[in-house]
Structure 1
Amino acid sequence: MSREVLEKKIKVLHVVGAMNAAGLETLIMNIYRNIDRSKIQFDFVVQTTEKCFYDDEIIEMGGRIISHPKPKKGLRRYKDALEKTIKEYGPYDAIHSHVLFFSGVVLPVAKKQNIPIRIAHSHNTSDSKTDSILRKIYRQFMRKEILKNSTHLIGCSKEAGEYVFGNSPVKLGAAKHFPNAIDLTKYKNLSKDKSYLIKELEISTDATIIGHIGRFTRQKNHVFIIEIFSAFLKEDPNAHLVLVGDGDERDNIVKLVHEKRLGNNVHFLGLRKDIEYILSSIDVFLFPSLYEGLGIVLVEAQAAGVPCVISKQIPVEADLDIGLVKSLNLSDGTQSWISAIKESMIIDTPKWDNLELALIDCGYDINASSQRLLNIYCGDE
């Protein structure tokens, strides 16, 4: 690609932690795959030197990955690195910051470097930190910096927007709801077919398959998932649990599974690119998160026609309201969760036309979201 052609494109700098397979990263990649790349180029600032799940695909699509020092090594070092990146790889038409409250560091640098479109994007309803006095001061200060230096505030749910940007009428009026959209074409002709996982796992054709997809972090509540499944297995000895993902807590969960002697029935599938086919193979999707900005995988599960049993901590926007979701309190006992799983297993799969209409009405069509984001980058929204 010639420099002349490149300069005609809208150049956007995404600021993330690392481009691994998780909710916000999946959204960015869904956008990148479907946005008009003849009009736009994405670059990525990351806080790691390790190769990540989406790196190869980003490079194949013409994006660049620029490593910065972790903020804990010093804010001055991070700010200097960001300024250098903007000067060397820019000029940028937009900066899109996905790093929660830390956007309060990113956006002032972007404003100083005259980037016209400066987006703060909230993807979660918690930063997983304790509510210490210092943490509260940090959040308050960063919120002020975000509001002062951003041109656009967007959140994947109402709760996610309020968490980072505040809940006063002025702030709520400024923040826009931007759902975590998915590629509907992947699910249009997808049929329920348990044989996909049955063959891979070499389990019986009449097995009950419960699935969970998510990073192995405290947020996703894997310990509770194992607790629920262990009790469910006593009632259905032919049940199997598939866990898709990776993360710091994986080794602890593997150890817990072996301690409970569940190794023959719990399957760790790692990071996968065939999520829609895995979803088409399971009977129930289990999602008892402690908190979520939205939970894009819950949207994907419903798109695949899978009944879902979730915690009430999940924002209501993630429920397509088509009868596939049952929500419970985390304080409810395991028997309540087991009952919900059993009730969900007899739910009829909705027709695709109804699913598609609900997904579009709720704002989960990636084509519409990509165009909307392009309009923001161009300054038209």
Structure 2
Amino acid sequence: MSTPLRVIHLFANLNLGGAESRIMDLYRSQNEKELINNFVIMTNEHCHFTDEVLASGGTIHTIVNPRGQLLRNLWQLYQLLKNGEKYDAIHAHTSYYSGIAVFIAWLAGIKARVTHARNQQTGNETFKTKLLFKTGKWLANHFATSKLAISSALWRVFIWR
């Protein structure tokens, strides 16, 4: 019997959103002999899907939100990926933060690193946000092994070829 593929999905939270709902569809249908999906979120709040994941024996890791605690957030993510359960892949569903996450995953030795862009902008156009968005795009293009976007227009905005 082969070892199942282990994927960790990175979200801001596990509330009732489009991306979260689609991954939960995948989670519900997983064959744990072939695939195990776990989660890392950046909130301590009780989320919509928390009880379902925990009741089915799933794992939800929590790290601090990067807003106001970016360095601590990055360190916690690195520690989780490097020293926690061993994952074959990370799938980051967090727009520009996805680039930062796949860089951290690369440092931690995760072989498959997927970014998933869903937003063209953050709604907060401060210098800091613009810098993080551009940095995230650059990191995604250099450290992601796969890049996904929900539309071709978003692909052109978020991902350089």
- Which structure's relative contact order is higher, taking Cα pairs within 8 Å and 6+ residues apart? 2
TM-score normalised by structure 2 residue count: 0.89
User: Paired residue for 2:91?
Assistant: 96
3-state SS, counterpart of residue 126 of structure 1: coil
Gaps of 5+ in 2: none
User: Paired residue for 2:67?
Assistant: 72
Q: How does 1:40-119 map to 2 (within 5 A)?
A: 40-119=35-114
User: Paired residue for 1:165?
Assistant: 159
Out of 27, 32, 37, the residue aligned to residue 32 of structure 1 is 27
TM-score normalised by structure 1 residue count: 0.40
Gaps of 5+ in 1: 172-381
CA distance in structure 2 between the aligned counterparts of 1:32 and 1:94, rounded to whole angstroms: 15
- Cα displacement string for residues 54-81 of structure 1 (whole angstroms, at most 9, x for unaligned residues): 1121123332111101102322211111
User: Paired residue for 1:142?
Assistant: 136
3-state SS, counterpart of residue 135 of structure 1: helix
CA distance in structure 2 between the aligned counterparts of 1:102 and 1:78, rounded to whole angstroms: 11
User: Paired residue for 2:146?
Assistant: 152
Contact 1:15 1:45 in 2 (8 A): yes
Q: CA deviation at 1:133?
A: 4.1
3-state SS, counterpart of residue 16 of structure 2: coil
User: Paired residue for 1:293?
Assistant: none
User: Paired residue for 1:344?
Assistant: none
Letter matched to residue 32 of structure 2? R
Against the structure 1 CA distance between its residues 163 and 36, is the aligned structure 2 distance closer, same or farther, given a 3 Å change threshold? farther
- Cα displacement string for residues 131-180 of structure 1 (whole angstroms, at most 9, x for unaligned residues): x44433332222111111110001122223233214xxxx2xxxxxxxxx
Letter matched to residue 146 of structure 2? H
Larger radius of gyration: 1
CA distance in structure 2 between the aligned counterparts of 1:161 and 1:60, rounded to whole angstroms: 36
Against the structure 1 CA distance between its residues 30 and 124, is the aligned structure 2 distance closer, same or farther, given a 3 Å change threshold? farther
CA distance in structure 2 between the aligned counterparts of 1:73 and 1:136, rounded to whole angstroms: 16
Letter matched to residue 13 of structure 2? A
CA distance in structure 1 between the aligned counterparts of 2:121 and 2:21, rounded to whole angstroms: 19
CA RMSD in angstroms comes to 1.9
Percentage of identical aligned residues: 25
Against the structure 1 CA distance between its residues 34 and 124, is the aligned structure 2 distance closer, same or farther, given a 3 Å change threshold? farther
CA distance in structure 1 between the aligned counterparts of 2:103 and 2:71, rounded to whole angstroms: 13
User: Paired residue for 1:9?
Assistant: 4
CA distance in structure 1 between the aligned counterparts of 2:40 and 2:128, rounded to whole angstroms: 27
Q: How does 1:182-201 map to 2 (within 5 A)?
A: none
- Cα displacement string for residues 194-236 of structure 1 (whole angstroms, at most 9, x for unaligned residues): xxxxxxxxxxxxxxxxxxxxxxxxxxxxxxxxxxxxxxxxxxx
